[in-house]
Structure 1
Amino acid sequence: MKKLLELACGLLSGLALFGIMVLTFFDVMGRKFANHSIPGSLEITELLMVVVIFGALPLVSNRGEHVEFDSLDPYLPGWLRKLQSVAVHLLCAVLLIGLGWLMLRTGAQFTETGETTAQLKIPKAPFIYGMGVLCALTGLVHLFMVAKPPVDRAEGEGAAL
């Protein structure tokens, strides 16, 4: 399951980031050499950034690569660190699943009203639905992480590989 998560979310985020790179390249080249930019390039970039960020969110949580304040960890007893880890993962799970549910409701509202982007008239609902699903998936990742022991890191060390 972990491999599927990494493949799907990594591919989704990677392709969206590559799309931003290609779009920016051709937009800059068009402005530089043809004195004309790609119409709606800002809207497309914004939508692709949503895909990059929310597509990577489950991976960041699964790898423990999110920003954390761990200055006091060396001074806390093991049982308290375990309790803290469980509480943080449960809180993150509840908040992310709740946020996912709210986004799915918003996506349904956008579908009903036909909400689109201003310039290119791209429907917003699929992106909101995607954000909701990926938030809920990230919440599930945190639920699975409740059972894992807290990670010990050396000073200045990033997430373990």
Structure 2
Amino acid sequence: MAALMAIAAGLVLAGLVVLTFTDVILRYFLSDPLRGRQDIVEMGMVLSVLLAAPYTWRIGGHISVDLYSGLAFPALERARELLMRISVAGVFCLIAWRAWLAAEDAALFNEATNMIAIAHRPFILAIMAMAALHAVLIVLEYFLDPSPSDDKGGSK
């Protein structure tokens, strides 16, 4: 699931690159930039970052600081990893909950981007869904991996 989300993030990012390249060419040669390109890029980056987050977690691609190399007892290390995963999942659940509240406000106030009025609500709901899915994947991976890991999910 995380790999598919990362592929989708890459496709969104590639589309944004093509859009920006096209805008630069049109702006330079025809003095006619694409209207709303910045709005599309802003909303696309939201999707790209959140789609890539679970895969980044899985491969340990985030920035981290190692305070120690690991606990001497495997059972204690496994408990530490579970606590860490529950904490991170809790943060993503908080993001999902706050996104739910923000989606209600966006619908109430008809929030949209400035240039071409892309509604914020679908993107906020996407943030909510991806944050909730990421929280579930973080905890689920713990139970699917029978041994403590030194190279996955926050242990790097």
TM-score w.r.t. length of structure 2: 0.84
Could you tell me how far apart the structure 2 residues matched to 1:138 and 1:67 are? 18
Structure 1 residue 133: Cα displacement: 0.5
Query: 2:148 pairs with 147, 150, 153, which one?
Result: 150
Does 2:33 align with 1:57? no
Unaligned runs of 5+ residues in structure 1 are 154-158
Q: How does 1:100-139 map to 2 (within 5 A)?
A: 100-139=96-135
Structure 2 residue aligned with 1:156: none
- Are 1:97 and 1:137, in contact at CA under 8 Å, matched by a contact in 2? no
Does 2:28 align with 1:6? no
Structure 1 residue 100: Cα displacement: 0.7
Structure 1 residue 47: Cα displacement: 0.7
Structure 1 residue 61: Cα displacement: 2.1
Structure 1 residue 67: Cα displacement: 2.4
Does 2:78 align with 1:43? no
Could you tell me how far apart the structure 2 residues matched to 1:6 and 1:104 are? 25
Structure 1 residue 21: Cα displacement: 0.9
Q: How does 1:8-23 map to 2 (within 5 A)?
A: 9-23=5-19
Could you tell me how far apart the structure 1 residues matched to 2:82 and 2:48 are? 28
* Percent identical residues: 25
Structure 1 residue 57: Cα displacement: 1.2
| Runs ≥4 residues deviating over 4 A | none
- Are 1:58 and 1:141, in contact at CA under 8 Å, matched by a contact in 2? yes
TM-score w.r.t. length of structure 1: 0.82
Unaligned runs of 5+ residues in structure 2 are none
Structure 1 residue aligned with 2:73: 78
Could you tell me how far apart the structure 2 residues matched to 1:130 and 1:146 are? 24
